[in-house]
Structure 1
């Protein structure tokens, strides 16, 4: 650090001072200092249920039946914690279940979770592992294990005493549902499916099959959209419309939306339109779909030219949700144009408004939209729309990467169709929030690019998603993305990108406790870097190999790799890499009960990291340095260093490293005989590990308190 000015003040804290909240001590620390970090802000209970449409009507008997199943009033049966609502496509299963669960919000103070299991999606059903990750994070688990068995175990732990309601929408099989069932008696799971899922009876499920709306309820639904007066003027035609829609709420809503937009059109005109048979979806065999087809055809034909274009452009995309920016990119139009056309599709009941600035298709509507695109647009036009959307996601994710992890942005981007759209975030938190909110769509476009052999697009998207993986630790997505990215880089013939995918993917494998696989990826990266003569990449691979061997307990194999990394990085002038490697060597020395050597490594590492202005990693070196000094008998200085590092981690929100620092403080307190302080530090560390690192939480819980 530079020389302080002569008129600078020395900041000295002495005696028994106590510091509350985040603080960074810049100068001398004396005496028994205590740093009290503020407790993390508690996450509110998740309330993820979709909003209930304003047009919901009827279903009183169905709601009463669900009440009876839940409370056990039906024929003296016991109350149920698992209920399956089945019925044909478009019959209103999702809306009914959502309406009922909204009415029970007070029964479930720990939250209400929702997931679309995508049972009939063109992209295939959602995996249980994907949904468990989503649920665990919603409940507050900051880091979720990659292994499915560990996820399921963590889910059981989180739900054992929780009073939560879970809605599993659009399930495909009983096997897809079982891993998602909560563990405790105070919860409720509601599953919706076109199938009856009778296999779930073995799990104690109660079954409720949903039928079409009664004629009176269907007429009431129509009235809510077009007004009582119009229905009263043409009662026969109104009944005919409901009958032609087979009492399916989806079909009635789509049909009535057309009437609502044409106040002078007669109801009979719509009835006549619905009565015309068309052949676009005749291959569909699921009950109710042909009826919906007729309503969709009638509504599509009266869309404005722009809305019809957007309908056809979005339908074939491999996305589950859409916003105005995706719509604008797909059509090469302005944001204002896209917002207006999306509003028109929502008004026509061809899209569902499911949240702030977010829409989705009902799966039957998306099938219809794909059919319309196939019938009216050329393959080239459909492919260009997908490419434009991929380009927009690449542009936007890259902007997030530049903001959040600028050091990672070292490889070029090949954007064929620049969108010209404004970036949807303005600071680091909102950039990370955007990546998180769009992670499912980002993975969808990566898969789509890989499937079409758009090699450069695929690996560049993966590279741009690095902050999402590094900060939020979606292990499944991290590993899958880099497997696709690695193949794409090879297909692109880009050896530098291939090494990037190997190194970034290996970090994910190691973080997911797949250490041997990570070491294999690093070894492949090292061979590739040597062939390319890239010294800096060789150092990265060597550090990775050393870290993997050290994690696996193979210290004798780890140390030579780490020294080679230092030598290479020293020769090419990369001091940050040298410093990071010295942290690992210091950890090894500390584990081998050589605190003197550890102090030397950590001191050098911290100086190097401060010199390159890396405060987070400098704090990592400092906390280890403090622990090494405490182990060497320099207890006061060691504790002060650990507490200074803890304050830095608290200030930056680095919860995992707060937990590591607290664990080290606990060990140091126990060694000096202060068991009360040791228990307090340990409890605080465990609370943070529970939401950042399940494996560390398990290790700390399983270890005897005196070790």
Structure 2
């Protein structure tokens, strides 16, 4: 939050003096947040006896508050919010003045005075709306109890580093409420962090492996608008620090397992605040300037208060001894209290003493008063009590859901894990959330589907019960059904988004009964985005359990996620896993597909030489397949179909095309041309018209890069015609863009030829607007700017670059920086950074 100043406060107080409601709000803020002396000064200011000294008193109060706010983020945030409300009550007859040589273009700015040059560039038609400020930290439960002492200590930590980053580590045993406390603290400071509040679950104590920093950095970078995430962890961390330098953000790193896991995720801004929760102390973060806040269990009276909030004060007051017994049995762990309270609340006619007896061991649950490592005995006892009271069908569902290899559960996954119908799974999730065995997270903002989550300890409890009560075959089948659902849903998304990529078979242990929660291409892409972590978890699970065919099929089905959203680290990891699985399975066609798709990921991540190696291996595999198939046909052995031979030739051409693209991006134009010229006749020979057209675009691009625009023209014109015939508007627009660029470079001083070429580029922009490709709209506008600059038309070049910048802003931070540098080098105003 911007630091409040004494003049701002003095202006607000002047307005509040004549507005009792505004003055009352101010007094409430100061009494709650400021020290005693300043609160007394505020009371004196509000007193009608202040008389002629009111101006001096107002000035003194404003100065005192500004000094305190500089060291108290909570006070600063509250004062900033109050100032906004106070100034909104200002008289309506205050005139604005635009002075000097100020110019306002398009959008109207309301302000008291503007002096100098003002340039506001509205978003171009068809571009996405501005990215929302991230507010990712989940809400705090309404029953949050006490912790005032801990909150005050955290506030002091924030106040001790007003000019540097704040790092607070909240540690304590499982179920003690670390995450809830951190969320409560940060949400209370929301106004102090106008650039966003971010959340990442490090999964340090879940059944699956802890989250890797690279996975989480990808999420954080995408949240700040960095759509091109590097594959290397060091580069990701450096980009995250650069993206947050100077930003006022708060970051909650939840469930950390080590300092090494946390360190790459720390932001780069001097005004950033990071809170880390962990069961361990993470003392290694001391070298990073961390302040440590160990969190103890609730006192017995606080546990009783929490129980009272959950089940009602009247029930506690009727049975105070039983309430005390429940609180003691739960050993002060908020999680245990909440689980016990949920069971009591669901049975309003049952005496509280029944729960106290169950927790005390009289219900057969065992003694719970001997709390052991990290409080697990108390939690297990409470969970065992809740589990024993579940109906049999809900108990089985609880166990099966504990086996699901994903963190969040939706209806479809729950139905597959438990072999239920969708409506039955929906009721099961609702019932388990009702008794606090699942947390209802509400709908996913990207897909609109409901989401539920186990607490780590609860999931462990459910999985242990499954191991005790269900046979190995049943448990294995439950996990396989979930993995197969993700394979099926990803395949459906692939068919909608990249149908030409779908050439390999899909096989399931049992075909999923649930339909994926999308019906069109945009919905499929949103689902892939929301489920990327779970898709990778399913892929890793398949590989770990030896389901090799499923593993490579999952990597293959996820291709539209990688192609459209570009999470390079996941793209490369998935294909490394898929390639190893395909080789173990001895499937040469799958091996070829993993090599070419994985090579594409390496190439796009800038790892050009590694991409060349992968495509080289793909070429060897493809040519071996071709030779074997041709040999079998010549010898008359086996029944080799034309379709299989075509697939092998297509894989060979794909590898050649990939080698050409990798060399092109590495700047090796002669090598790129050689491979493209080998790929083109192969694609033409098998009738792969779209592929041949894409290779022609690449040949035209290389010719342009090599200063041979005349050679590019026929290739690009042919590609344009073929892609229009193939009903591929997106790639046809790409061909037209390069065609217009080539025509401009051939036009020379011919004004008519220049006008015609520019018309082609403008048409390409319109076609990209129709297909929704904002990135290519920006790229073509940049081409127009480059051409104008080459013709020494600086004003026209500036206008094209500014239009390009407006479109890049919503999709590509690296391109934004590049265009800004281009404009900055020409001395042009850039608009907002």
Distance of aligned partners of 1:565 and 1:78 in 2 relative to their CA distance in 1, 3 Å threshold: closer
Q: Give 5+ residue unaligned stretches, structure 2.
A: 1-105, 107-122, 444-449, 627-647, 828-833
Distance of aligned partners of 1:81 and 1:252 in 2 relative to their CA distance in 1, 3 Å threshold: same
Matched, 1:657 2:776: yes
Report the counterpart of residue 393 of structure 1 in structure 2: 486
How far apart in 2 are the matches of 1:328 and 1:456? 24
Which has the higher mean CA deviation after the structures are superposed, 102-111 or 535-544? 102-111
- Distance apart, 1:405 and its partner CA: 1.3
How far apart in 2 are the matches of 1:572 and 1:77? 67
Matched, 1:251 2:251: no
Residue deviations 1:232-288, cap 9 Å, x none?
122112111111111110010111112122223222222222123868999997421
Report the counterpart of residue 235 of structure 1 in structure 2: 320
2:196 to 107, 111, 116: 111
How far apart in 2 are the matches of 1:643 and 1:482? 38
How far apart in 2 are the matches of 1:683 and 1:497? 45
How far apart in 2 are the matches of 1:486 and 1:457? 12
1:558 to 672, 691, 712: 672
Matched, 1:492 2:492: no
Report the counterpart of residue 378 of structure 1 in structure 2: 471
Report the counterpart of residue 505 of structure 2 in structure 1: 412
Residue deviations 1:108-133, cap 9 Å, x none?
22221111011112222211111111
1:289 to 376, 388, 394: 376
Tell me: higher relative CO, structure 1 or 2? Use CA pairs within 8 A at least 6 residues apart. Answer: 1
Q: What RMSD over aligned residues (CA atoms) do the two structures have, in Å? A: 2.5
1:335 to 422, 426, 432: 422
2:257 to 163, 166, 172: 172
1:366 to 459, 466, 491: 459
- Distance apart, 1:554 and its partner CA: 2.1
Distance of aligned partners of 1:511 and 1:284 in 2 relative to their CA distance in 1, 3 Å threshold: farther
Which has the higher mean CA deviation after the structures are superposed, 235-244 or 197-206? 197-206
* SS of corresponding position for 1:190: strand
Q: Pick the structure with greater CA Rg.
A: 2
Report the counterpart of residue 605 of structure 1 in structure 2: 719
Matched, 1:55 2:143: yes
- Distance apart, 1:691 and its partner CA: 5.8
How far apart in 2 are the matches of 1:367 and 1:36? 51
**2:549–2:585 Cα contact (<8 Å) kept:** yes
* SS of corresponding position for 2:610: helix
* SS of corresponding position for 1:288: helix
How far apart in 2 are the matches of 1:253 and 1:379? 32
Report the counterpart of residue 538 of structure 2 in structure 1: 445
Distance of aligned partners of 1:557 and 1:419 in 2 relative to their CA distance in 1, 3 Å threshold: closer
How far apart in 1 are the matches of 2:172 and 2:186? 18
**1:70–1:79 Cα contact (<8 Å) kept:** no
Report the counterpart of residue 69 of structure 1 in structure 2: 157
How far apart in 2 are the matches of 1:279 and 1:628? 81
Distance of aligned partners of 1:706 and 1:223 in 2 relative to their CA distance in 1, 3 Å threshold: closer
**1:670–1:706 Cα contact (<8 Å) kept:** no
Residue deviations 1:400-423, cap 9 Å, x none?
111111111222211222232233
How far apart in 2 are the matches of 1:425 and 1:285? 47
Distance of aligned partners of 1:549 and 1:80 in 2 relative to their CA distance in 1, 3 Å threshold: closer
Which has the higher mean CA deviation after the structures are superposed, 334-343 or 142-151? 142-151
Report the counterpart of residue 223 of structure 2 in structure 1: 138
1:149 to 234, 241, 246: 234
**1:443–1:481 Cα contact (<8 Å) kept:** yes
- Distance apart, 1:686 and its partner CA: 4.9
1:353 to 440, 458, 469: 440
Which has the higher mean CA deviation after the structures are superposed, 200-209 or 359-368? 200-209
**1:144–1:693 Cα contact (<8 Å) kept:** no
- Distance apart, 1:162 and its partner CA: 2.1
- Distance apart, 1:64 and its partner CA: 2.3
Distance of aligned partners of 1:284 and 1:215 in 2 relative to their CA distance in 1, 3 Å threshold: closer
* SS of corresponding position for 1:170: strand
1:638 to 732, 741, 757: 757
Residue deviations 1:547-592, cap 9 Å, x none?
1122222222222211111111122222222211111111121122
* SS of corresponding position for 2:713: helix
**1:143–1:692 Cα contact (<8 Å) kept:** no
Distance of aligned partners of 1:413 and 1:549 in 2 relative to their CA distance in 1, 3 Å threshold: same
Distance of aligned partners of 1:170 and 1:248 in 2 relative to their CA distance in 1, 3 Å threshold: same
**2:729–2:771 Cα contact (<8 Å) kept:** no
* SS of corresponding position for 1:232: helix
- Distance apart, 1:526 and its partner CA: 1.3
Matched, 1:583 2:697: yes
**1:143–1:691 Cα contact (<8 Å) kept:** no
Report the counterpart of residue 23 of structure 1 in structure 2: none
- Distance apart, 1:695 and its partner CA: 5.5
- Distance apart, 1:698 and its partner CA: 5.9
* SS of corresponding position for 2:256: coil
How far apart in 1 are the matches of 2:310 and 2:238? 47
How far apart in 2 are the matches of 1:215 and 1:622? 73
Report the counterpart of residue 541 of structure 1 in structure 2: 655
How far apart in 1 are the matches of 2:373 and 2:381? 15
1:263 to 348, 363, 370: 348
- Distance apart, 1:79 and its partner CA: 7.7
- Distance apart, 1:205 and its partner CA: 2.1
Alignment of 1:33-44 (within 5 A): 37-44=125-132
Instruction: Report the number of matched residues.
Output: 671
Residue deviations 1:85-117, cap 9 Å, x none?
111110001111112222222222222111101
Residue deviations 1:514-560, cap 9 Å, x none?
11111111111111111222222111111111111222222222222
**1:144–1:694 Cα contact (<8 Å) kept:** no
- Distance apart, 1:185 and its partner CA: 2.7
Q: Give 5+ residue unaligned stretches, structure 1.
A: 1-19, 21-34
Report the counterpart of residue 26 of structure 1 in structure 2: none
Report the counterpart of residue 472 of structure 1 in structure 2: 565
Report the counterpart of residue 320 of structure 1 in structure 2: 407
Distance of aligned partners of 1:700 and 1:80 in 2 relative to their CA distance in 1, 3 Å threshold: closer
